[in-house]
Chain A
Amino acid sequence: MNGAREALAGDPLFAGLSGTELDLIAAAARPVRLGARERVLREGDPARGCWLIHSGCVALDLAVPGRGQVVVQTLGRGDVLGWSWLVPPYHWQFGAVTVQPTTMTELDTAQLQAVAEQDPRFGYTLTLALFGALALRLQATRARLLDLYRVPDGQP
């Protein structure tokens, strides 16, 4: 899967991985091409797979009674889509739908987990890479929680 291997090598997410480790991931990877407004994940479905986005835009959404499908986050090039395959109860907590035509690499997470069982060192490196992406997402989410752009209270 030469194209997938190249796409992975060029992704900053996997900058710390060795050639062999990239090969292992590439073996579980396949390219995905979607048009606009195509649903990638449905909230509540069993969580299988994760995606590295190369181009386009994907919206994470949630059904909120009275507000319909609320988009809580959009993702683009360089972002990882899908964490719940690692976390019990292994169901998607949010939905995901493309906003524009989008290209991604889909990873067979069941296969990757099987490899990780046999090769804990690989599992650790892969998890660390994903963890880094998650940490930045959390930092950005916390920054949004601060509501920094609001009008400050308590005036002179």
Chain B
Amino acid sequence: MDAEAAKLIGAGLAAIGAGLAAGGVGNVFGSFLQGALRNPAAADGQQGRLFIGFAAAELLGLLAFVVAMILIFVA
């Protein structure tokens, strides 16, 4: 296979990671809402943890994006 084509295919495969991270971020916020609707009084105190979970899930998707960008522009 042509090396350039392999790079682009790899970048496309890396984009799967971004989609999976979308699922992770949705899961974080969805679970938070589930908990928050059961006990709204406790929800405000947990917002910091919500965003920590969001940041952790999002980072992995961003890493997938970095891999794709490196494959396209650097490698």
The answer to whether A and B come from one shared complex is no
